[in-house]
Chains A and B, each alone.
Chain A
Amino acid sequence: MIGKERLARIRRRSCRMPAFRPCLLAAALVALLLVGSFSPAVAGNPHSAFYSSSNDRIFWFIHASDIHVGAVGSTDSTNLQWLVTTAKNTISPSFIVVTGDMTDSSNGGLFPIGGPYQAEWNEYRSIVDANVTSSTYYDIPGNHEAYNDQYFAYYLANSVQGRATGGTQHSWTRNLWFGEYHFLGVNTADNTGRSFSIFPPYYGDHAGLDSTELAFITSELQAHPNAVLTLVFGHHPLAATGDALDTYIYYGRDEFVSLMSGNGASLYGYGHTHDSSESFYTQGMTEGVFYFNVSALGKDSPNQYTVTAIDCNGIASVTQNVSSWPVVLITAPMDRYLGGIVNPYTYSIPNSSANPIRALVFDTAAVSQVQYRIDTAGSWYPMQRTATNNPNYPHLWEAAWNASALASGEHTIEVQATGSTVRTDSIKVNVLATATGDFTGDCDVDGSDLAILIATPSLLDLATFAQNFGKSVCP
């Protein structure tokens, strides 16, 4: 029999340590539900990346730009042909996005004047129409499509997406079993049909987004409130690059940036500069977006493209020269750095004995070996094809890395693939002695981890999670 006094003691204890955890958990759940009920829906959550051994929550795409078909002295058509045949067949991307300047609008002349030229577009179409469809290839306009063509008549009549949609801006999704991912291609090119000019500041390229274009962007972001991630593409940089010759978005930028920020966009990918870079754009944003610039595929050197992967909602990217193999991209864990700055959307990783490492490897030749090592020294350890367990991912390699002996702090992971040549990708990660259930890697198990667990219950059993809830192991 339990006496009245003991019963009262039990009741009093019911909301104290350690029995208070379920209480806290329930409170967190309720809070989460309330927040979910009253917050305005946003289109994406850049913080949704998590570190997991799940090897089937991954997809990837190719970002190319500035093909410039018709430019004198360049390998534009050859490189485009390579992109939509060899690269597409070898990399098997979910889609290819081309951020403008498909044609040069010079047709072999000295300047991009006198165009647009249908001959250039016919050349472009002869390559793309035989190899891609409007559900796998997204070509958006650049300044070379806008010269002398206020209404983008040539773009609309000849580009893959112009013909498919009748518009100059495009919105598409990938609905996968692990969530909806939303992609948006915006038309940053000038809308006045100005001619090319040699005079600064605009050079005939008064780039920007007008009210109609912004309205489309707004409505498409609002139409995908359940998107896990939202990635946006345009031709121009958002701001001055430091090179006086680079035009950028002159009007509508603040509204556009605010829309990306307010709707949780993760990435803005662009071309135009004929340079490649990875950085983070924060001006006018609450947190910021990955700011990825890809070099020209068809004009100037080096001719490059980017492979971007989304693995457990973490974004990874590698830039590669045309026709160079293999492509090696570490997709998990996420890189701690972006162009030298700490990536705010990455996670720290635990010093567990079986940390997953995953990498995509693409090659036209057979890949004989993929291996990894830690901190640029010591032994290389073999990685296995995920295809052994999951035939849907023949290009994905994985390994379980024993990080238990590592001290907390920054460590380097290298993955080296042997195929046509030997190539290595390298990332830095922050290792923390942390608790199971810390999916966000912020060194405690809290409501944000609970949100991830609710979205993905298979990550961890609830009992283990509840046991660790509230634990904090930050140094």
Chain B
Amino acid sequence: MTRRTIICMFLALLLVLSTGIFSMCQAQGGGSSHNERGWGYFKKGFYEYAPHNKHQEANQYYEMAIVEFKKAIAVNEGDVAAHQNLARVYHVQQKYALSAAEYKRVTELSPEDVDAYLNLADAYYRLHRYGEAIEQLELAKTKTTDPVAIGKLNGYIEKLEKAR
């Protein structure tokens, strides 16, 4: 192997590596910007139009937000914030099955996030899937040692048992 070949191979490797790093950076930066843009659309619809009963306009912004959050997920499927935001928009649109699926993904990606279990339980409750809602609250109980929080969760479980 000549010196020239070695140099060429080294340069090629460098090129491959730098391309990979660049595309990774682009993915992260792109996901984040999609999230930000999506959140901006959501806020516009949710805080500027919905409180004035301008539901059509609000929904247009929600749809634009969904597109952005989905793009963020396409760039990085493990983007917790994007799944969380997407779940929130679906919830506001009362698409609770879709919302539940996204919150479920959040609990998988971020298993220590107790709020995600609550959100998922709420979505199941609205879908009348009380057993699954109870399951999520039981899971939430395993994520905390705070007696007040556990007491509150038990109260909600009791409420769900009655509903079941």
Contacts and interface: CB of A to CB of B under 8 A. Distances in A.
Q: Are chains A and B native binding partners rather than an unrelated pairing?
A: yes
Given A198-B153, A244-B148, A113 B48 contact: no
Interface residues of B, number: 29
B91 interface: yes
Contact of A113 (B51, B55, B118, B152): B118
Contacts of B122: 109-111, 113-114
A111 B88 CA distance: 14
B115 A158 contact: no
Interface string A138-154: 00000000000101011
B156 A110 contact: yes
A109 B47 contact: no
Contacts of A245: 148, 152
Interface in B125-140: 125-126, 133, 140
Nearest to A153: B47
A195 B113 CA distance: 14
Candidate in B91, B133, B160 with the most chain A CB atoms within 10 angstroms = B91
Do most interface residues of chain A lie in helix, strand or loop, or is the interface mixed?
loop
A114 B48 contact: no
Interface string A112-138: 011010100110000000000000000
Contacts of A116: 51
Contact of B48 (A111, A121, A153): A153
A375 B149 CA distance: 49
A177 interface: no
B40 to A, nearest CB: 15
B50 interface: yes
A200 B146 contact: yes
B3 interface: no
Interface SS of chain B: helix, strand, loop or mixed?
helix
A194 to B, nearest CB: 11
A197 interface: yes
Interface residues of A, number: 24
Interface string B41-75: 00000011011110100000000000000000000
B47 to A, nearest CB: 4
Contacts of B140: 198
B82 interface: no
B66 to A, nearest CB: 16
Contacts of B47: 149, 151, 153
Contacts of A156: 51
B121 interface: yes
A416 B4 CA distance: 110
B164 interface: no
Contact of B149 (A121, A149, A200): A200
Interface in A72-108: 108
Interface in A195-243: 195, 197-200
Given A110-B133, A118-B53, A200-B149, 11 more contacts: A109-B126, A110-B118, A110-B121, A110-B160, A111-B156, A149-B47, A197-B115, A198-B149, A198-B153, A199-B114, A199-B148
15 contacts: A110-B121, A111-B156, A113-B118, A114-B119, A116-B51, A122-B53, A149-B47, A151-B47, A156-B51, A197-B115, A198-B118, A198-B140, A199-B144, A199-B146, A199-B148
Interface of B: 47-48, 50-53, 55, 88, 91-92, 114-115, 118-119, 121-122, 125-126, 133, 140, 144, 146, 148-149, 152-153, 156, 159-160
The 6 closest A-B pairs by CB, nearest first: A157-B51, A110-B125, A153-B47, A198-B152, A154-B51, A114-B91
